[in-house]
């Protein structure tokens, strides 16, 4: 077994992103662990604060995104902007709660967005809740992709977050173009999807808005 394979496994075993793991050379998605229960996956993501980076599907944990500066900085900036945008309704019946990378369960998989928001909502019938029980789904989810492929993000939006009207209502997706080490990101793209929009004959969910922007 190559040394880097062992060092990569330490992220799952110990929460240790070891410098000798050579994550920058990894092909994503990378299978981090197999034969893992959903409860164990959720316990470790909480313990190691790994939300929005790993995904659990059918007893397998995979890495789709790495905690690199462009990803973390973009998520933080979006959260700050959104929170400021609706601060005027704080302490009213229309107030919005930020739920961060709140974990969800559905379709034999477990996922966490990079950020999520919803107003106060009643509990829903079991098992349609975001926890597989009665917890309501967020209204808005945010996904930022840096090392993650845009194809995988779109798949999550179509087949998971906005699969039907009982789940999230809107999804904001941001893709940052990868850069070399020590460079500053210069280009990003953003999409807005809404669950009420019509799908194509092939089942594809069309974006409502698409923006391309230079950073800086």
SS (H, E, C) the chain: CCHHHHHHHHHHHHCCCCHHHCHHHCCCCEEEEECCCHHHHHHHHHHCCCCCCEEEECCEEEECCCCCHHHHHHHHHHHHHHHHHCHHHCCCCCCEEECCCCCEEECCEEECCCEEEEECCCCCCCCCCCCCCCCCCCCEEEEEECCCCHHHHHHHHHHHHCCCCCCCCEEEEEEECCCCCCCCCCEEEEEEEECCCCECCCCCECCCEEEEEECC
Domain ranges of the chain: 1-64, 67-214
> So what's the pLDDT on residue 123?
95
> So what's the pLDDT on residue 193?
96
Overall fold of domain 67-214: tt1808, chain A (3.90.1570)
**Tens-place pLDDT, residues 170-192:** 999 999 988 777 777 778 999 99
> Model pTM?
0.90
Mean pLDDT of 140-169: 95
Cβ contact 176:188 at 8 Å: yes
Is the pLDDT confidence value at 57 over 70? yes
Kindly state the percentage of the chain with pLDDT values over 90.
Answer: 73
> So what's the pLDDT on residue 215?
63
Output the six-digit token pair for 146. 């840096």
**Tens-place pLDDT, residues 21-49:** 999 889 999 999 999 999 999 999 999 99
Is the pLDDT confidence value at 2 over 90? no
């Amino acid at each position: 077994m190559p040394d880097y394979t062992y060092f990569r496994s330490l992220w799952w075993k110990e929460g240790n992103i070891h410098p000798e793991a050579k994550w920058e050379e990894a092909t994503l998605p990378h299978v981090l662990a197999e034969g893992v229960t959903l409860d164990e996956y959720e316990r470790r993501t909480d313990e190691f604060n790994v939300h929005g980076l790993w995904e659990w599907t059918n007893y397998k944990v995979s890495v789709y995104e790495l905690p690199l500066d462009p990803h973390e900085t973009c998520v933080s900036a979006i959260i700050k902007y959104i929170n400021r945008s609706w601060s005027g309704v704080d302490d009213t019946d229309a107030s919005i709660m930020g739920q961060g990378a709140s974990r969800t369960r559905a379709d034999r998989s477990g996922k966490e967005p990079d950020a999520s928001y919803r107003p106060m909502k009643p509990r829903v019938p079991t098992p349609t809740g975001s926890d597989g029980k009665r917890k309501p789904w967020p209204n808005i989810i945010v996904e930022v992709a840096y090392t993650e492929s845009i194809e995988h993000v779109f798949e999550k939006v179509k087949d998971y977050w906005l699969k039907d009207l009982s789940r999230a209502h809107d999804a904001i997706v941001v893709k940052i173009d990868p850069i070399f080490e020590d460079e500053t990101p210069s280009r990003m793209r953003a999409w807005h999807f809404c669950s009420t929009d019509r799908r194509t004959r092939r089942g594809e969910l069309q974006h409502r808005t698409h923006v391309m922007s230079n950073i800086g």
